[in-house]
Structure 1
Amino acid sequence: MPINIDSPLARRVAALAFLILIFGLTYWVLSPFFASLAWAGILAYVTWPLQQWLCQRLPERQNIVALLMTLGVAATLLLPLVWVMFTVAMDVSAATATIKQIMAHGLPPLPVGVNAWPGGAWIVGQYQRIQGDPLWLLAQIDALGLTDVASLKGIAGEVGRNAAKFGLAVFALFFLYRHGFSVLAQFRGVATRWLGEAARGYIQSVGVTVRAVVFGIVLTAVAQGVLAGLGYWVAGIEAPALWGAITALVSLIPFVGPVVWIGLSIGLLAHGETQAALGLFLWGALVVSWVDNLIRPLVISGPTRIPFLLVFLGVLGGLNAFGLIGLFLGPVLLAVSVAIWREWSVHARSK
């Protein structure tokens, strides 16, 4: 039986196939840039109040405002990052020299006082076993990749790719500042057409969650890294900037940051520096962890009205699924899911 291509069903099928083809190819073309565009959107949203303030001070100067905001955000992010990179590079050089010394001469002996610790005899025994097996120690150092030229080249290549993504994000940021209202209005119109008036609540949930995650996760992690780095410097830890940067990165995952400063406190105690170890431990417990355990849950759970456990799971799941940008995408997806669930619950009770 011949197919009537002029029938309404055939035209709808053809139109649907055409849309799938066009949007599929569009996704394929833009997929390498999604992370950069997502970062640009997050930065634009978080700094939008400042952009509005500048627009009021410089009316009819949208291009100048967009340029000033883009340069300001880029400098705010880039200058501290460059300083940290140079400082960490110097600390990595010192750490590399220490690793080379360990590779050449083996691990240094433990302080005598370790025997007096609870379980100290076991610790000494395990340490001596590792110390007496230089091949095992070399294998663990090689596993870190710090002495492998290929691994170092791979790290350098990854840094270069991330720098390119950052440049693209900054480039896109200018156009978001310039045409942000138009883009948001079009997005709201399309979302409302497809999802109804409930789309406005979903969009609001996304915005509130992004702002809460930025201030509740990223900025608190940076604050913990800075405070912890200060404590490392006062305690006499070698390479305090490096360890501070590591603490900040680890602290992006809630409640994991203490692993770093507790480990360093134990290291100081093992070398007989009891006062420095106690001071660092108290600094971490009373100051650094206070930011993690009190401020972060309040900043996140307050505005979003989402249990902190869900945000925590969203951060972990987002990191696993999407990489670093998953810090925001994971909690945002959960926020939209919670908003939809609450809307369904309200409709269910009203019936």
Structure 2
Amino acid sequence: MPIKTDSPLARRIAAFIFLFFIFGLTFWVLSPFFASLAWAGILAYVTWPLHQRLCRHLPGRANLAALLMTLGVAATLLLPLLWVMFTVVVDVAAASATLKQLAIHGLPPLPAGVRAWPGGEWIAAQYQRVQADPAWVRAQVDALGLTDAAQLKALAGGVGRNAAKFGLAVFALFFLYRHGDSVLTQFRRVATRWLGAAARGYIQAVGVTVRAVVFGIVLTALAQGVLAGLGYWVAGIDAPALWGAITALVSLIPFVGPVVWIGLSLGLLVHGETQAALGLFLWGALVVSWVDNLIRPLVISGPTRIPFLLVFLGVLGGINAFGLIGLFLGPVLLAVSVAIWREWLVHARSV
């Protein structure tokens, strides 16, 4: 039986197709900017209490309060990044020259005193095996990309694109400060209409998780980078700012940060600087890792009431699926899933 074009069913189908078409095109248009908008939303949410306090000191001047907050957040993030980038550029040049010498001349000889250590004969045998294969050493150096001008240019291009995304995020941040209350209210109304009263719990889970991940992962990684960089500087590591920045980036992934300072400690050991190697290893194990292994689980698992294992898997899976923004999206998705699961359990008990 054919469907009449003026029937309610036909109108519903037409409306559904129209909405699907419009929202699909909207998603397509905005898709290149999702990462910047997500970063702006995260920054706005985390700093919202400061914005509210500033608004109370500037009544009736919402635009000025939003502008001051935007400039403050941008300066807080941009100035340290510029300092790190400027320092890293100098350190990358030094590291590139060192790696080129290593690729040409091979690994330096192992200090004679190493054989007297417990297990020293095994260490010396493994080192000599690697030292006897200069092609493998050159391949590992080339894999780092610090000796290839084309890869360095590509890296610079990636930095430029990320800088543009950061600028867009800051631009969007002003409007989120200015209209954040209205946007959140509208979102709550739509979510409540479609999901019922449970939407409030889901929104609360998202907010708590974002704040916990920011303070538990990002700030912990920054603290690890600063502490590790200080240890590298004291131990006499070349390019300490570069290695500190690398440690901070790597530490965003739980339990991966020690790879950097353990590798540098072994490098010092190979060059005969036993005291510096031991000091750096102890600094990393007792100070840098202490920040990661103690503070991160407490800060994340406490407020979210989610097992740290799930947060850990959410971070890894989020990075794999969405890139750096997946640091937040992965745990947030798991937090909402856990909230839904717990709600089902409550309903199951009440039945």
The letter of the residue matching 1:279 is: G
Mapped pair 1:258 → 2:235: no
> What residue is the counterpart of 1:336 in the other structure?
336
2:6 match: secondary structure: coil
Equivalent positions of 1:77-156 (< 5 A) are 77-156=77-156
The answer as to whether partners of 2:66 and 2:178 remain within 8 angstroms in 1 is yes
Query: Is the 2:95–2:146 Cα contact (8 Å) retained in structure 1?
Result: no
Alignment of 1:251-330 (within 5 A): 251-330=251-330
Change (3 A) 1:61 1:332: same
Q: Where does residue 54 of structure 1 map in the other structure?
A: 54
Q: Deviations over 1:196-255 (max 9, x none)?
A: 010001000000000000000000000011011111111111111111111111111112
Residues in 2 aligned to 1:134 and 1:261: alpha-carbon distance in whole angstroms:
24
Superposed CA offset, 1:151-205 (max 9, x none) = 2222111111111100000000000000000000000000000000100010000
2:167 and 2:67 map into 1 onto residues whose CA distance is: 14
Contact map agreement 2:110 2:272 (CA 8 A) in 1:
no
1:241 aligns with 2:244: no
What's the TM-score, normalizing by structure 2? 0.97
Gaps of 5+ in 2: none
The verdict on how the C-alpha distance between 1:239 and 1:149 changes in structure 2, with shifts beyond 3 A counting, is closer
Report the secondary structure of 2:27's partner residue: helix
Q: Which amino acid aligns with 2:207?
A: G
Contact 2:209 2:335 in 1 (8 A): yes
Residues 117-157 of structure 1: CA deviation (Å, up to 9, x unaligned): 34433433333343333333333322322232322222111
1:42 aligns with 2:24: no
SS in 1 for 2:306: coil
Aligned to 2:224: 224
Q: Deviations over 1:255-306 (max 9, x none)?
A: 2211221222222223232222222222112211111111111100111111
Q: Which residue of 2 aligns with 1:169?
A: 169
Change (3 A) 1:103 1:267: closer
Identity of aligned residues (%): 85
8 Å Cα contact 1:113-1:270 kept in structure 2: no
Q: Which amino acid aligns with 1:335?
A: A
The residue type equivalent to 1:116 in the other structure is A
Q: Which runs of 5+ in 1 are unaligned?
A: none
Seen in structure 2, the aligned counterparts of structure 1 residues 274 and 107 have a Cα distance that, compared at 3 Å, is: closer
| Matched pairs, number | 351
Cα displacement string for residues 69-103 of structure 1 (whole angstroms, at most 9, x for unaligned residues): 00000000000001011111111111111112123
Matched, 1:26 2:26: yes
Structure 2: which amino acid aligns with 1:111? P
Kindly indicate whether the alpha-carbon contact (under 8 Å) linking 1:62 and 1:178 is maintained by their aligned counterparts in 2: yes
The answer (yes or no) to whether the contact 2:311–2:334 under 8 Å persists in 1 is yes
1:185-224 map, 5 Å: 185-224=185-224
In 1: Cα distance, 2:117 partner to 2:330 partner:
43
Q: 2: distance between equivalents of 1:289 and 1:46?
A: 25
- Which residue of structure 1 lines up, in the alignment, with residue 7 of structure 2? 7
Cα 1:104–1:305 change in 2 (3 A) is same
Contact kept, 8 Å, 2:192 with 2:198, in 1: the verdict is: yes
CA deviation after TM superposition for structure 1 residue 2, in Å: 4.6
Distance (Å, rounded) in 1 between the aligned partners of 2:94 and 2:300: 38
CA root-mean-square deviation: 1.4
- Structure 1 window deviating more from structure 2 (308-317 vs 1-10): it is 1-10
Which stretch of the first structure deviates more once superposed, 112-121 or 311-320? 112-121
Conserved? CA contact 2:314–2:334, under 8 Å: yes
2:201, 2:148 → 1: CA distance? 51
CA separation in 1, counterparts of 2:104 and 2:151?
A: 21
Query: Quick check: 141-150 or 39-48, which moved more?
Result: 141-150
Work out the CA distance in 2 between the residues paired with 1:226 and 1:144. 23
Write the distance in 2 (CA, Å) between the matches of 1:142 and 1:95. Answer: 13
Moved >4 Å (runs of 4+): none
The more displaced of 196-205 and 148-157 is 148-157
